[in-house]
Amino acid sequence: MDNPQPDPYDLLGVGIGPFNLSLAALADRADGLRTLFCEARPEFRWHPGMLVDGARMQVPFLADLVTLVDPTNPWSFLNYLRDQQRLFPFYFAERFQLPRREYDHYCRWAAERLPNCRFATEVTALHWDAAERLYRAETAAGPLHARAVVLGVGTGPVSPEAFAGLAGHPMVRHSADYLQQRPALAAARDITVIGSGQSGAEVFLDLLRTRGDDGTRLRWLTRSRAIAPMEYSKLGLEHFTPDYTRYFHGLPADTRDRLVPAQWQLHKAASAETLAAVHDHLYERTVGCPLDADPVEIVPGTAVTDAQAGPCGGLELRCRHTDSGVQHLVRTDAVVLATGYRAVRPALLDPIAALIDWDDQGRYRVDADHRVATRPGLTGALYVQNAELHTHGVGAPDLGLGAHRAAVILNAVAGRPVHQLPTRTAWTSFAPPTAALLPRPQEENRAAAIR
């Protein structure tokens, strides 16, 4: 007699990064919901290549897995501290931003204990069974069935087109692998960091600290016209609230596409603290010697247009200064590409790709509940996390909105308010007022004519 299939999951999560881990933590206390989250890796790791000494989070510790939705949840950071017997040390440290290493350890603490998280379980393909109205996820251990699926597979490193010919070169590495590849930089006497976001600033600072006294020339290039700090004013941060997310989602698609790159200083710049640490280090290392004797270059407003292996070894970068148009050649031994990340479409979606309603740029169309638009033949809910920058704005990759987005998805899956969410979260009103709109110009002219 055949063994009956187990009941399908109400929600199957694919990938366990911070965002799906947040959803798993909030779902752990949701009565009546059967959930499972699968990850191909054997354990939780969060940007292991960037856990450099001294690197800190850019969000407060309250942006943990659950607190901004449910402060009483046992998977909060404060409960982690209690479990680790670190509450008093944390209290006396008076730190609002955590070390990156501690955030990674906190997430691993939760991932190892949550009963609905399963590691070393790769979902290789996702099918839709129209007759059963269920997803079938293929794994090495056998299929898993679910009524709804949430993709939390993360983003992939982006390398500039100019470096396409150097793919796989041992001395050209993305910052995502920086710590693992740092030993390979030992023989380099000239190192170039490209990109002025937080990763670029942290890599450059780490190189200053570890290679600053051995005569190595360190260079920091960026297309941005300035090494500018991230917007961190209290009202500026209201762009990372559910209020702004709702406003952004309601804008026309072409307006959204124009806004995101213009808002780079909200989400792609470096923290003022990290930039200050760079300056402090440069200041102290040049005591007693002229600045022009220091083998350090910081060059903003410069784009790399082509990169090749040099004829005599090393690397040659052809650069163009944005303001002047002047082109020049940079010779260097190694390059660290701190050039960011981009959402990728996982291959597991191939069996149902024709059933997804992609936009004209091949991206997900995502509604306010983070559900992907699908064709009529696919009726099961498919959600995404951190793949909706183009529909939900700069808060999509921000950890501060992770718990709220997870709660929105969980409420939608449950069909009831598992978690009560605030109706207003910002002082700023991003949309124009609707109660007393000014008349349009033609209406003003018509009124003048009547008078």
| Per-residue pLDDT tens over the stretch 333-371 | 999 999 999 998 999 999 999 999 999 999 999 999 999
Q: pLDDT (tens digit, 9 = 90+) per residue, 145-171?
A: 999 999 999 999 999 999 999 999 999
Under 8 Å between Cβ of 11 and 35: yes
Q: Tell me the HSE value of 204 on the side-chain side, using a 13 A CA sphere.
A: 31
Per-residue pLDDT at 436 exceeds 90: no
Can you say how many angstroms the Cα of residue 386 is from the centroid of all Cα atoms in its chain? Answer: 7
Question: Which of 127-131, 239-243, 287-291, 311-315 bottoms out in mean pLDDT, i.e. has the lowest?
Answer: 287-291
> CA-CA distance, 345 to 422, in Å (whole number)?
32
pLDDT value of position 84 = 98
pLDDT value of position 1 = 43
pLDDT value of position 3 = 56
Per-residue pLDDT at 128 exceeds 50: yes
- Domain 11-154+344-414 sits in CATH at 3.50.50.60
Domains 11-154+344-414 and 158-230+279-340 agree in fold: yes
Per-residue pLDDT at 439 exceeds 80: no
Per-residue pLDDT at 374 exceeds 60: yes
Residue 440: pLDDT band (50, 70, 90) is low
3 against 34, higher pLDDT: 34
Residue 443: pLDDT band (50, 70, 90) is low
Q: pLDDT (tens digit, 9 = 90+) per residue, 376-421?
A: 999 999 999 999 999 999 999 999 999 999 999 999 999 999 999 9
pLDDT value of position 292 = 81
> CA-CA distance, 32 to 386, in Å (whole number)?
27
Tell whether pTM > 0.85: yes
Average pLDDT score over residue span 109-138? 98
Percent of the chain with pLDDT over 70: 95
Sketch the domain layout of the chain as residue ranges: 11-154+344-414, 158-230+279-340
* Burial of 383 from C-beta contacts in 10 A (0-12 / 13-18 / 19+): buried
Average pLDDT score over residue span 97-109? 97
Under 8 Å between Cβ of 196 and 339: no
> CA-CA distance, 109 to 112, in Å (whole number)?
6
Tell me the average pLDDT of the chain. 93
CATH class of 158-230+279-340: alpha beta
